[in-house]
Amino acid sequence: MFSIENISIKEYFELQDSSKYDIFIDTLTPDNIFSGKRFDANRLTLDEVHVITQILKYSNIDKIKGMYIELFKLGSFEISAEKEFYNTSVFDLFRTKKYINDFINNLVDTENKLLKGVPDEKLIRIGAAEKLAPVSFLLTKMRLAEQFCVSPKEVGNWNYNYAFSLMIANKKSNDIQREYAQLK
């Protein structure tokens, strides 16, 4: 029977060859428990979702550690957040990272499905989508900020679910206005 030792994240990163652990990265069942704590996805802000998305795309251990400290509220009077992170089981890291990845991918898929617009031929010809992609998140915040007379920074602090519902409402309103204009 195959057996593997449960090691800490610190011990995992100290290994010369981590391959016998790496096979578990994609096979473990996702879970939202890290060091006995859960994070509440319903409390994430618009900016936090964006930052998590970027960290998962372009991650290194320091960024992942910082994300975990914030999401799971690591650290206490008895133990520093960094020490708690590194002393937690590497399997907790694998499970929660998969959970967070799945959660963010689901959000992105939902956004793409519900916010996808009708492509405009002229915008396609000039490659607008590709040119605006690097700043699309900021443009979204700017549009909402303008609509509600607040700063884009304030919009970033809004609850993600609230901001997303506003984006859907705006899209539906724009779609109806476009359809109505075509009737004339």
Return mean pLDDT, the chain: 90
Given a contact cutoff of 8 angstroms between Cβ atoms, the answer to whether 147 and 36 are in contact is: no
Q: How far apart, in whole angstroms, are the C-alpha atoms of residue 77 and residue 43? A: 24
For the segment 18-40, the average pLDDT, to the nearest whole number, is 92
pTM: 0.86
CA of 124: how far to CAs of 11, 25, 137, 151, 174, in Å?
Answer: 50, 39, 19, 30, 19
If we measure between CA atoms, which residue out of 55, 53, 82 comes closest to residue 69?
82
> Which helix (H) or strand (E) segment is 106 a member of?
helix 90-115
Given a contact cutoff of 8 angstroms between Cβ atoms, the answer to whether 157 and 45 are in contact is: yes
User: What's the pLDDT at 156?
Assistant: 96
User: What's the pLDDT at 122?
Assistant: 77
96-152 tens-digit pLDDT: 999 999 999 999 999 989 888 777 777 778 877 778 777 889 999 999 999 999 999
Question: What phi and psi values does residue 45 have, to the nearest 5 degrees?
Answer: -90, 170
For residue 75, is pLDDT > 80?
A: yes
Q: Which two tokens stand for residue 134?
A: 């690097």
The neighbour count for residue 135, using CB atoms within 10 Å, is: 10
- Return all residues near 94 (Cβ < 8 A) that are at least 6 apart: 24, 25, 28
